[in-house]
């Protein structure tokens, strides 16, 4: 599987947008200590770029859920890892790579509501609203994309392609 030379979103375009998101988030949380909760594994690259564009103190932790077993969501969400830091009264920003059906993020939101957080918001790099099965919307969205399977910049197909610096469409198992 060879990546083509024409990504859907180049690394430069992504970097520009991540900077814009960071500026907005920094303004919104100017008087608060922010805890970024990265949804493993897909948000690893986006989250680490985002945190480095945020000025001031930022704490980071991780959560891991799985709802996905191939090009179509399986429907079930399971929690595989929860944050180690105490979350009560924290201002938590859940960091997702992509919103597809919306099941994973809404499952995580419901789970996190049990922790008596100070606040909870959601940032996603990518959004496929045409696939949504619930009312979920992100507070901050990088890019809205069509219903196509994408890889790179942390996103994988069966654990491949996360390392690509840009985001590419995957078509019939090949990176376009």
Instruction: Tell me if 154 contacts Mg ion by CB under 5 A.
Output: no
Q: Does 42 bind Mg ion (CB under 5 A)?
A: yes
SS3 for 8-44, per residue?
Answer: CECHHHHHHHHHHHHHHHHHHCCCCCEEEEEEECCCH
Q: How far is the CB of 28 from ligand XMP (least distance, A)?
A: 23
Instruction: Closer to ligand XMP by CB, 55 or 70: give it.
Output: 70
100 is catalytic: yes
Measure the CA–CA gap between 144 and 35, rounded to whole angstroms. 25
Q: Which token pair is 176?
A: 């376009």
| Residue with the two structure tokens 């949804």 | 39
Q: Count of CB atoms within 10 A of residue 68's CB?
A: 19
Among 25, 37, 45, 98, binds ligand XMP (CB under 6 A): 98
Number of chain residues interacting with ligand XMP (CB under 6 A): 19
Find the binder of ligand XMP among 37, 151, 164, 166 (CB under 6 A): 151
Burial of 110 (0-12, 13-18, 19+ CB in 10 A): exposed
Choose among ligand XMP, Mg ion, none what residue 168 binds, the Cβ cut-off being 5 to 8 Å by kind.
none
Write the binding mask 104 to 143 for ligand XMP: x where contact by CB under 6 A, - elsewhere.
x---------------------------------------
When asked if residue 97 is in the footprint of ligand XMP (CB under 6 A), the reply is: yes
SS3 for 72? Answer: coil
Element (H, E) at 55: none
Q: Are 124 and 153 in contact (CB under 8 A)?
A: no
Reference 126, options 35, 39, 53, 24; nearest CA is 39
Choose the contact partner of 166 out of Mg ion, ligand XMP, none; CB within 5 to 8 A by kind.
Answer: none
| Shortest Å, Cβ 126 to Mg ion | 10
Write out the residues near ligand XMP by the rule CB under 6 A: 42, 67-68, 73, 96-104, 149-151, 155-157
Q: Which residues are designated catalytic?
A: 100
């Amino acid at each position: 599987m060879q990546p083509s030379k024409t990504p859907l979103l180049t690394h430069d375009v992504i970097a520009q947008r991540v900077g814009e998101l960071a500026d907005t988030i920094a303004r919104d949380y100017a008087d608060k200590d922010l805890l970024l909760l990265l949804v493993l594994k897909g948000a690893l690259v986006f989250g680490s770029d985002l945190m480095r564009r945020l000025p001031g103190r930022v704490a980071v932790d991780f959560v891991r859920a799985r709802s996905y077993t191939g090009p179509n969501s399986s429907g079930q969400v399971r929690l595989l890892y929860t944050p180690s830091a105490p979350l009560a009264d924290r201002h938590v920003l859940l960091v997702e790579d992509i919103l597809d059906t919306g099941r994973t993020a809404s499952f995580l939101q419901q789970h996190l509501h049990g922790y008596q957080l100070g606040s909870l918001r959601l940032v996603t790099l990518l959004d496929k609203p045409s696939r949504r099965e619930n009312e979920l919307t992100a507070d901050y969205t990088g890019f809205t994309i069509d219903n196509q399977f994408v890889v790179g910049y942390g996103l994988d197909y069966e654990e491949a392609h996360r390392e690509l610096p840009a985001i590419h469409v995957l078509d019939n198992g090949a990176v376009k």
